[in-house]
Amino acid sequence: MVDNNTVMKSGRCLECGSKETDGFSCYELFGFPLVWEHNDPHLYELHFWLVSCYMIQHPSNYTKEGYKHLVKLFIDAYDNKWDTPYILKKNREIVKSVGKITNPIPSKERKRKLRLWSMTIEDIYLGGEKNAIVNINKWKEQMRNELSC
């Protein structure tokens, strides 16, 4: 299965290793917590972390420079405990200096490399809306640990 951002093969995402769950691709699973955010302003406060965790696990969506920017922004924001407005300000500044960050190559033609992560969007989906805040915070911590390797 191919959608705009992920390729699933034999029921697994070719980049993050997430399993197809309840008939949903990795990218479709990502849509659930994006909807849940509209029901809970506290969950919405974690939007940057939700999106960046997902996107870091799908580097084919970015240029090489754009991906390095995303990882650096994530690490700096996490390590320095930046609040969301500051993260977004820094992101705008860096994007202006980097230029194009998204991969211009059509999705079907991108090279993808599997990396197995300890948590993926599948875990957020399976935990459900009720546990989303706890699980996204856990994902953020796991991601930071894995980016240290």
How confident is the model over 21-73, as pLDDT tens digits?
999 999 999 999 999 999 999 999 999 999 999 999 999 999 898 899 999 99
Give the 3-state secondary structure of residue 90: helix
Chain-centroid distance, C-alpha 96: 21
Cβ pair 8, 1 in contact under 8 A: yes
Which residue's entry shows tokens 């699980």? 135
Which positions ≥6 away from 83 have C-beta within 8 Å?
none
pLDDT 10s digits, 67-112: 999 999 999 999 999 998 999 899 888 878 777 788 888 888 889 9
Q: Is residue 11 part of a domain?
A: no
Q: Is residue 79 part of a domain?
A: yes
The number of domains in the chain is: 1
Q: Is residue 80 part of a domain?
A: yes
Q: Is residue 13 part of a domain?
A: no
Does residue 122 carry a pLDDT above 80? Answer: yes
pLDDT 10s digits, 123-139: 999 999 999 999 999 99
Q: Is residue 94 part of a domain?
A: yes
Q: Is residue 85 part of a domain?
A: yes
Q: Is residue 66 part of a domain?
A: yes
Which positions ≥6 away from 90 have C-beta within 8 Å?
73, 76, 77, 82
Domain that holds residue 75: 32-108+116-147
Q: Is residue 49 part of a domain?
A: yes
